[in-house]
Amino acid sequence: YLHSADEELPFEHRGVADGDRIDVGALEVLVLATPGHTEHHLSYSVIDSSDDDAGALFTGGSLLYGTVGRTDLVDPELTDTLTRRQYRSVRRLIDELPGETRFYPTHGFGSFCSSSAGGNDSDGTLAGERSVNLALTIESEDDFVDRLVSGLSDHPAYYAHMGPLNRSGGNPVDLSPPAPVDPTDLARRIHRGEWVVDLRSRRAYATDHVVGTIGVELADPFATYLGWLIPWGTALTLLADTTDELAEAQRQLVRIGIERPAGGADGGPDTWGADQERSS
């Protein structure tokens, strides 16, 4: 596991720095320091010595298609500095590597880690970015900083917790079923003001739900929406039609650091909401 040598981590890893080269079979990996998205951000240029191809560049949250990764996720006090570093990092990649190099970022269109909507006109090569990328079409660093920072939108609240969790190495993942919750226990949790989340579709929730529960539909953006809203560390109870839906919700939540629900129930409102006030 490669990580910046400038940052101390509590788990086993290999510290690397700008200019380091790592041989992996016929592949040579060149480490490139590209601070901006984070203070210690690295990109990796990979070349296959067995052919003449320009290779591939893995840019993480630095160079994105048509734009760059956002620079305000570390510390508001560092946003200006990181934005300037991001500008210089992207221009360095363009200047030092062959234009035909294809690059592969970790964030795409619609990601909250992107600083703007990105460019659908990108052809995925460094040369192609020259005419479409925000950091390459704005010639003044100061103008770039003003444009980028003024366009940053809100990002999910759980982002503040994911960085420290990642740097700590994380905890062992436990995806075993949550503790079962019966109607009496559920009523107590609702009365205490705990977060009790109904995973059914919005239409099903609007048609019939237990008063005091919160409807967050189990779909692709489920973890993003819930992670944005829920106070970090609060007790969370999940309600679903099936145990498979409970398991899928757990899988999505553990990816953002919400590791164990306090409880769960399946079977629908007639099962978990027996003798409780309902709304429709």
Identify the CATH number of the domain in which residue 250 sits.
3.40.250.10
| Residue 24 domain flag | yes
Domain count, the chain: 2
Last residue within a domain, chosen from 155, 171, 191: 155
Between the alpha carbon of residue 191 and those of residues 184, 195, 236, 277, the distances in Å are: 11, 10, 14, 12
CATH code for the domain in which residue 65 is found: 3.60.15.10
Confidence class of residue 243 from pLDDT cuts 50, 70 and 90?
A: very high
Given this model, what pLDDT does residue 264 score?
Answer: 97
Give the least confident one: 81-90, 119-128, 172-181, 230-239.
119-128
Residue 169 has pLDDT above 90, yes or no: no
| Residue 178 domain flag | no
* Greatest Cα-to-Cα distance within the chain, rounded to the nearest angstrom: 72
| Residue 165 domain flag | no
Given this model, what pLDDT does residue 154 score?
Answer: 85
| Residue 65 domain flag | yes
Range of the domain at 50: 2-155
Between the alpha carbon of residue 273 and those of residues 153, 194, 243, the distances in Å are: 39, 16, 16
| Residue 268 domain flag | yes
Residue 58 has pLDDT above 90, yes or no: yes
> Which amino acid is located at 254 in the chain?
V
Residue 44 has pLDDT above 60, yes or no: yes
How do strand 63-64 and strand 27-33 relate by DSSP bridges?
unpaired
User: Do residue 150 and residue 187 come from a single domain?
Assistant: no
Instruction: Indicate if the alpha-carbon torsion angle 229, 230, 233, 239 is positive or negative.
Output: negative
User: Do residue 62 and residue 119 come from a single domain?
Assistant: yes
Percentage of residues of the chain with pLDDT beyond 90: 73
Given this model, what pLDDT does residue 98 score?
Answer: 95
User: Do residue 150 and residue 194 come from a single domain?
Assistant: no
| Residue 75 domain flag | yes
| Residue 244 domain flag | yes
Confidence class of residue 116 from pLDDT cuts 50, 70 and 90?
A: low
Cβ pair 194, 261 in contact under 8 A: no
Give the least confident one: 48-62, 87-101, 205-219.
48-62
What 3-state class would DSSP assign to 44?
strand
For residues 66-94, average pLDDT: 95
Residue 35 has pLDDT above 80, yes or no: yes
Last residue within a domain, chosen from 155, 171, 203: 155
pTM for this predicted structure: 0.85
User: Do residue 125 and residue 196 come from a single domain?
Assistant: no
Last residue within a domain, chosen from 155, 172, 197: 155
User: Do residue 102 and residue 190 come from a single domain?
Assistant: no
User: Do residue 147 and residue 193 come from a single domain?
Assistant: no
User: Do residue 107 and residue 212 come from a single domain?
Assistant: no
| Residue 171 domain flag | no
Question: What is the Cα–Cα distance from 216 to 195, expressed in whole angstroms?
Answer: 11
User: Do residue 59 and residue 116 come from a single domain?
Assistant: yes
Place of tokens 């106070």: 231
> Which amino acid is located at 222 in the chain?
F
User: Do residue 112 and residue 18 come from a single domain?
Assistant: yes
Residue 280 has pLDDT above 70, yes or no: yes
Given this model, what pLDDT does residue 167 score?
Answer: 84
User: Do residue 136 and residue 247 come from a single domain?
Assistant: no
Give the least confident one: 112-126, 138-152, 229-243, 262-276.
112-126
Given this model, what pLDDT does residue 121 score?
Answer: 66
User: Do residue 190 and residue 275 come from a single domain?
Assistant: yes
User: Do residue 10 and residue 96 come from a single domain?
Assistant: yes
